[in-house]
Structure 1
Amino acid sequence: MSDTPLRLVIFDVDGTLVDSQMDILAAMSAAFGRADLPAPEREAVLGIVGLSLPEAFERLAIEAPALTRQSMVEWYKEAYVALRAKVGAAQSSPFYPGAREMLERLNTVPELLLGVATGKSRRGLDKLLEGHDMRHFFVTQQVADHHPSKPHPSMILAALAETGIDPAQAVMVGDTVFDMEMAHAAGVRSVAVSWGYHAAESLSQADALIEDFAELPMILNGFWGTKI
């Protein structure tokens, strides 16, 4: 029996593993249109990716009444579902280069567990996992339905509890400030990716920054002294 401790790598989804920005921008525009409000600029919309939808609309539609913002959440969901249905989840949210290959590589390491912590709903994550045939990669899946919005540490703490992993043996991989703040609050290391929705220079709180998924094993080995 191996003495190597179990370790956990938790991935954000949108902006980290897959690029959903076209549908996010279009669904946001649809929600604002139904509310008869001007749609925010692209940078503002991508800046809130990772937050739960109620929190996102509190920031993007701060002038709107609370009841209107609640409706906008539902209008966004309706538009997103319709957009995804046109082409399927795999095409509407394609993998970033090297993402699937890295998941497959990490999944072969016996002592390494993989998880997800996402601002997506359970339904949204299920559709994505099915569309990309990647449900089998993740032993723990934390979604917005069951937790406070990032950067609250609840998602990571739940993933640690479900897997029995010590915080020192866990890493959060994400593309936003919210991911890095969540990791810090939960007491786990963080790896930021440069290709996501927040500018790389804003992710200075991360323990490491990668520009290609091929760099991730080396970073993890540096954290843990392993040979992945």
Structure 2
Amino acid sequence: MQADRLVIFDCDGTLVDSQHHIVSVMVDTFTQEGLTPPSAAEVRSIIGLSLVDAMAALMPDGDGRQHVHLAERYKSQFRAMTVSDDHTVEPLFPGTLEALAALDDAGYQLAIATGKSMRGLVRVLHSHGIHHYFISLQTADAHPSKPHPSMVQQALMDAGTDAGKAVVVGDTSYDMAMAQAAGSKALGVSWGYHPAGDLVAAGASHVADSYDIVPDLVAEILRG
């Protein structure tokens, strides 16, 4: 049993493929404010950050008030999209369900650390029927943006374990740097928004190319 071992997942780009929704709403937000919208590549580069930090990265010449305003507009736009009649829930990446079930069956505790809001995260988890797998949900509502270690630290407290017995699984360099800052292990995944080389440079010991190998990599990393 692995009851003292904790696996902390990112959400967007790791569990669910939210790229289309995020890019579309971000472009609409900037356009409606009369601003030049960011490119899809620019939006992908900030996925994983908290919204205010993301807006600061996309609009470096703006001030703090503008960044907060844009973040609020984005949240409003995103909520409106999720309740529209033609909205489709962000799909899980292939193999996600099987990997979560395998880790759960092996006795690992599972958690999430995400730049999403709690409301948005819970909606996604319940939509896919996977909420029950996670003992701790950490979101941007209550924590500084990644790569600050606050979300990992709270998940560790919830799980009753320490940093050396935890691994962060994520698709961005922010996830890997957050794990490093917390003193935890880091496992990158290649199907998200940052290149594998960036994940390794930020601290990933391994980069998975599919969910099929994630349970075995988690076991290997946490044995080390």
Measured against the shorter chain, the TM-score band is: over 0.9
Cα 1:201/1:87, change in 2 over 3 Å: farther
User: What's the counterpart of residue 54 of structure 1?
Assistant: 52
Asked if 2 retains the 8 angstrom alpha-carbon contact of 1:30 and 1:75, the reply is no
Normalising by structure 2, report the TM-score.
0.93
1:89-142 Cα deviation digits (max 9, x unpaired): 7x33100000111111211223x1000000001111111111111110100110
CA distance in 1, matches of 2:52, 2:207: 29
Give the counterpart letter for 2:84 in structure 1. Answer: K
Whether contact under 8 Å (1:171, 1:189) holds in the other structure is yes
1:43 is the counterpart of 2:41: yes
Post-superposition offset of 1:83:
2.0
Tell me the SS of whatever aligns to 1:148. Answer: coil
Q: TM-score, normalized by length of structure 1? A: 0.92
Report Cα offsets for 1:181-212 as digits up to 9, x if no partner.
00000001010000101111211120111001
Q: Whole-Å Cα distance in 1 between the matches of residues 4 and 130 of structure 2?
A: 21
Residue 94 (1) aligns with residue 91 (2) = yes
Give runs of aligned pairs for residues 67-216 of structure 1, distance below 5 A: 67-86=65-84, 91-110=88-107, 112-204=108-200, 205-216=203-214
Distance (whole Å) between structure 2 residues aligned to residue 102 and residue 13 of structure 1: 14
Q: What SS does the corresponding residue of 1:146 show, helix, strand or coil?
A: coil
Q: State the secondary structure of the residue aligned to 1:191.
A: strand
CA pair 166-69 structure 1, distance change in 2 beyond 3 A:
closer
| Letter aligned with residue 168 of structure 1 | G
Change (3 A) 1:224 1:181: closer
Deviates more, 1:163-172 or 1:215-224: 215-224
Which amino acid is the alignment partner of residue 104 of structure 1?
A
- 1:61 offset after TM fit, Å? 1.2
Return the offset for 1:57: 0.4
Q: How far apart are the structure 2 equivalents of 1:174 and 1:93?
A: 17
Distance in 2, Cα, partners of 1:217 & 1:135 = 19
CA positional deviation for 1:225: 4.1
State the shift of 1:48 in Å: 0.5
Output the CA distance in 1 between the equivalents of 2:220 and 2:64: 47
Q: Structure 1: any 5+ residue segments left out of the alignment?
A: none
Letter of the 1:99 partner, please give it. Answer: T
- The CA distance in 2 between the partners of 1:195 and 1:123, in whole Å, is 25
Label 1:7 to 1:63 Cα distance change in 2 as closer, same or farther (>3 A): same
Q: Which amino acid aligns with 1:121?
A: S
Aligned residues: 222
Contact 2:89/2:127 (<8 A) preserved = no
Structure 2 residue ranges without an equivalent (≥5):
none
CA shift, 1:5, in A, is: 5.3
Q: What's the offset of the Cα at 1:67? A: 2.6
